[in-house]
């Protein structure tokens, strides 16, 4: 899994400027990242978002085909669904922007935002003892940023560790689901769809209670 893909999926590049000076990055609230980037979701992200936004999981998810995202090196993130084939679960968009972005360019579920959003735009690397070894900024968007903040390296480390822990746990869930789908296929049973996958993750009710037996 590449460093770019660890944070945001899509046609995203890295700004190779280096150094701790990036800890002064200041978001100006332009909202461009919420329009131009696609955010991969985990089950942990969805649990936070459904609780924080009051929206059902089905309204928070878009399913992207492999051709729509740069997934080089990580096929295990694709979910096998009956109606779509192999797809990636991402935060839903509406009218070309994240559906949680309001007219004032503010996130309506900021405290419950996905782990990737919490770390953006930082791409940190930490040493074995936990110290910040390298810090880069993610590109891929027209970011109207400023300077003057004092971001805490320890807070970045905590956010980065949480993101990776949740991502690894989600990959285990995806593999279990895909393995079950392959088993159903061998038995010539119909494959399950998006609603059943969200129920499998524990973030939505099953549309057909008997479909998972």
- 34-88, pLDDT tens digit by residue? 999 999 999 999 999 999 999 999 999 999 988 887 766 678 999 999 988 899 9
Predicted TM-score (pTM) above 0.75: yes
In a domain, residue 7? The reply is no
Residue 154: give the domain boundaries: 14-203
Instruction: Tell me the sheet residues that pair with 81.
Output: 85
In a domain, residue 199? The reply is yes
pLDDT at 172 over 90: yes
**Calpha distance 200→57 (Å, rounded):** 12
CB 92 within 8 A of CB 60: yes
In a domain, residue 209? The reply is no
Q: Is 188 helix (H, G, I), strand (E, B) or coil?
A: coil
Whether the CA torsion 155, 56, 77, 173 is positive or negative: it is positive
In a domain, residue 34? The reply is yes
Reported as a pLDDT band with limits 50, 70 and 90, residue 12 is: very low
Q: What is the largest CA-CA distance in the chain?
A: 60
**Calpha distance 88→145 (Å, rounded):** 29
Which of these, 60, 72, 41, lies nearest to 163 by C-alpha position?
Answer: 41
In a domain, residue 106? The reply is yes
In a domain, residue 6? The reply is no
pLDDT at 72: 64
Mean pLDDT for the chain overall: 87
**Calpha distance 12→172 (Å, rounded):** 25
In a domain, residue 213? The reply is no
Which of these, 71, 101, 97, lies nearest to 86 by C-alpha position?
Answer: 71
In a domain, residue 211? The reply is no
Number of domain units in the chain: 1
Reported as a pLDDT band with limits 50, 70 and 90, residue 10 is: very low
pLDDT at 207: 60
pLDDT at 15: 45
pLDDT at 73: 64
26 half-sphere exposure, CB direction, 13 A CA radius:
7
């Amino acid at each position: 899994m590449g460093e770019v893909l660890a944070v945001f999926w899509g046609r995203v590049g890295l700004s190779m400027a280096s150094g701790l000076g990036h800890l002064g990055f200041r978001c100006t609230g332009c909202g461009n990242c919420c329009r131009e980037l696609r955010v991969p979701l985990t089950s942990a992200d969805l649990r936070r978002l459904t609780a924080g936004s009051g929206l059902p999981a089905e309204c928070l998810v878009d399913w992207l085909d492999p051709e729509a995202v740069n997934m080089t090196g990580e096929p295990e993130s694709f979910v096998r669904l009956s109606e779509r084939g192999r797809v990636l679960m991402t935060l839903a968009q509406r009218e070309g922007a994240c559906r949680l972005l309001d007219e004032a360019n503010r996130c309506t579920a900021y405290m419950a935002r996905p782990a990737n959003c919490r770390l953006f735009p930082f791409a940190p690397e930490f040493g074995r003892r936990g110290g910040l070894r390298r810090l880069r900024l993610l590109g891929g968007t027209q970011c109207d940023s400023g300077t003057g903040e004092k971001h805490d390296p320890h807070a970045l480390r905590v956010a980065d560790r949480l993101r990776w822990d949740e991502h690894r746990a989600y990959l285990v869930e995806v593999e279990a689901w895909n393995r079950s789908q392959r088993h159903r296929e061998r038995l010539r049973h119909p494959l399950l769809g998006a609603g059943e996958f969200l129920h499998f993750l524990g973030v939505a009710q099953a549309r057909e209670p008997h479909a998972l037996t």
